[in-house]
Amino acid sequence: MKFSRILFSLLGVALVGCINSAATQAIELLPHQAVYRMSLAEAASKSGVSDAKGVMMYKFEESCEGWASETNVFLKLQYVEGEEEETTWSMVSWEAKDGLKYRFRVRQNRNGRQVENLNGSVVRQSIDGEAVAKFSSPEGKTIKLPEGTMFPTHHLQALIEEGENGTLTFTRTVFDGASLDNPYNINALITGKPRKKKLNAKANKEALRHIRMAFFQIGSRAEFPEFELGIDYRSNGIADYIVQDFGDFSLNLVPDNIEILDQPKC
C-alpha cells in the first residue's frame, strides 16, 4: 500500500515551458490543522479487504520563508480471511517559498515493524531547472528531478490557481519525497462540483472545487495510474473531503475537526 503526501500537494507529466511562480503567489493557503476519519469506500473482491478504519492528522504552517507540513496516519485494514494489518505513517516536510529548497522525513511501520525510513532534501539553483534529491536515509540514495519539477505546496497553489481560471486539466511532474517512487507525473482533472460534499456535515459554505489526480511514475507507459486522489478543495487550500484510490480498494477521509492557525507577519 502507498500513502502519499500528494494528499495536500497531496496530496498536482512533464512541465511544458517554465513555471509561472508569480501566478502561484496570488493563491493564499491558510495555515490550519485538521483531523480526518478514514473508512473503506469500496473494495474489489480480489483485494481481500473487508473493512478499513483509521485517522489522519494534518498540520500546515507558514513562515515568512516557507511552508511546513506534518501528516500522521493510523490505519487498520481488516481482511476477508480474518487477518488485520495496522499501519502508521508519518511525514514532515518544509518547502521554501522561492521553490529552491525542500526537506522531508518519512516513517512507516506495519504491525509494529518499521518498513520505511526516508530522510532527504533538495537544493536547486532555479525553480524550473534540473535538480537532485539527496537522501541521508537510505544513505547515499539520489533521485534526479527533471527540469520543471514542482514541490508539493507550489503544486497545490498552481492547481487552485488553474481551477480559478477555469482550467479543466493540469499536468505536472511533482516531487514530495513520500516514497522512493518519486517524482510522479500527476494528471489532474479540475471540476467545479464537489464529489462527496454530503459526506461532510461540517463542510464550509465556501465554494469547493473537486480535483482528481492520477499518479504515474516517470517514464511509465502504464495505461492506469499507480494510485489516484480525489479532493474537494476550498480556495484557501483546505480539504473538505478526500478519497484515496489504490485500484483494488479506496478510502474515504472526512474531517472531524479543522482549526485555523495564525499566519506570519512578514
On whether residue 190 sits in a domain, the answer given is yes
Residue with the three cell numbers 504491525: 111
On whether residue 266 sits in a domain, the answer given is no
State the burial class of residue 106 (Cβ atoms within 10 Å of its Cβ: 0-12, 13-18, 19+).
buried
On whether residue 265 sits in a domain, the answer given is no
pLDDT band at 221 (very low <50, low <70, confident <90, very high): confident
pLDDT band at 222 (very low <50, low <70, confident <90, very high): confident
State the burial class of residue 212 (Cβ atoms within 10 Å of its Cβ: 0-12, 13-18, 19+).
middle
DSSP classification of residue 150 = B
Whether 56 contacts 72, CB under 8 Å? yes
Q: How many domains does the chain have?
A: 1
Q: What percent of the chain has pLDDT over 70?
A: 85
Query: Model confidence over 55-67: pLDDT tens digits?
Result: 999 999 999 999 9
Residue 193: its pLDDT value, please? 63
Grid coordinates representing 30? Answer: 491558510
Domain that holds residue 253: 5-257
- Helix boundaries (H) for the chain: 21-24, 152-164
On whether residue 264 sits in a domain, the answer given is no
Whether 194 contacts 210, CB under 8 Å? yes
On whether residue 99 sits in a domain, the answer given is yes
Residue with the three cell numbers 504515474: 216
Q: 114 pLDDT exceeds 60?
A: yes
d(CA 258, CA 243): 17
d(CA 159, CA 257): 24
pLDDT band at 263 (very low <50, low <70, confident <90, very high): very high
